[in-house]
Structure 1
Amino acid sequence: MIAETVCSAVSAAGLGIAVVTAYRRRFLAAARIAAYSLVPVGLVMTGVVGWLSDTALSPTAWAGFGVLGAAWLLFATTRAVERRRSGASTERGAAAGTGSIHPGTTAPASSTPALRQGRGNGPAQGQPQGRNQGKSPASGDDFSDIEAILKKHGI
């Protein structure tokens, strides 16, 4: 009975705020506030509020929530143990198969980047010789189009 009274009071207050908002010619906001204000009354009329208040004050319902929580905890624990066991066997198999101590690690980086190893003063294999002949790739030609765009915009 108290829950229904509180919901009705909240709805009445919300509708009052919606009227004041509509008086200020903010009709869209007023309609939205009115919609939110009608939700508690609708919940009371459908019986949801009564069901929730009966459930919240019932020791049997709280015991049921406790049992559900314990079941969820058991599921989560067994899942974590299962993942840990399958992960450990996968690590052992990967370490034995690849000869690596730590699976998933990579070789250390080389001292010379791979992009610079094949570059010389002449053109690369398969590249036509007419266009970039005599220009070094490190001279900034790679970014000439980007520089032109930046200059165009005054940057």
Structure 2
Amino acid sequence: MLAETICSAVSAAGLGIAAVAAYRKRFLSAARIAAYALVPLGLVMTGAVDWIADTAFSPVAWAGFGVLGVAWLLFLSTRAVERRRGGRAESAGGDDVPRAVAPGASAPSRAVTAKPKAGQAAGDDFSDIEAILKKHGI
């Protein structure tokens, strides 16, 4: 009951200030003040003020807000950890192998270097590249 009375008084005062602004030929300002002044009256008429008053004095509602806050903090902290890791999930073995995005996808391909043949030295595996460069005069 007290909340409705306060909201009605605030609306009446706001409409009075809007009337003064309109008298001074500030019609745009008067319309804006009147719009703000009608909000508390509309909240009283819809019953939102009763709901807010009941929620503000309810310990169960405050506990619910606390639970929602904890859930929100958990979401934020897990998101921050994901960003810090770069999208990699923690594996049981501790290796940093990136996981596949889709469950059925294959693991990332690894570059395989060709082993030198028995009579070939380790530095000769670029011979085909050297041949192509010589062919083009580079």
How many residue pairs were aligned? 92
Give the counterpart letter for 2:84 in structure 1: R
Give, in whole Å, the separation in 1 of the partners of 2:79 and 2:29.
48
The residue aligned with 2:108 is none
Give the superposition deviation at 1:87: 6.2
Give the counterpart letter for 1:76 in structure 2: L
The residue aligned with 2:115 is none
Residue range with higher mean Cα deviation, 69-78 or 39-48: 69-78
TM-score by length of 2: 0.59
Give the superposition deviation at 1:21: 1.1
Matches within 5 A, 1:103-142: none
CA RMSD of aligned residues (A): 2.2
Give, in whole Å, the separation in 2 of the partners of 1:85 and 1:30.
55
Note the alpha carbon deviations across 1:115-154, whole angstroms, 9 max, x for none.
xxxxxxxxxxxxxxxxxxxxxxxxxxxxxxxxxxxxxxxx
Matched position secondary structure for 1:25: coil
The residue aligned with 2:30 is 30
The residue aligned with 2:52 is 52
The residue aligned with 1:11 is 11
Of all paired residues, the percent bearing the same amino acid is: 76
Matched position secondary structure for 1:12: helix
The runs of at least 4 aligned residues of structure 1 exceeding 6 Å deviation read none
Note the alpha carbon deviations across 1:60-89, whole angstroms, 9 max, x for none.
010001101111111122222222223685
The residue aligned with 1:84 is 84
- List gaps (5 residues or longer) in structure 2: 89-95, 98-110, 112-138
Give the superposition deviation at 1:35: 1.4
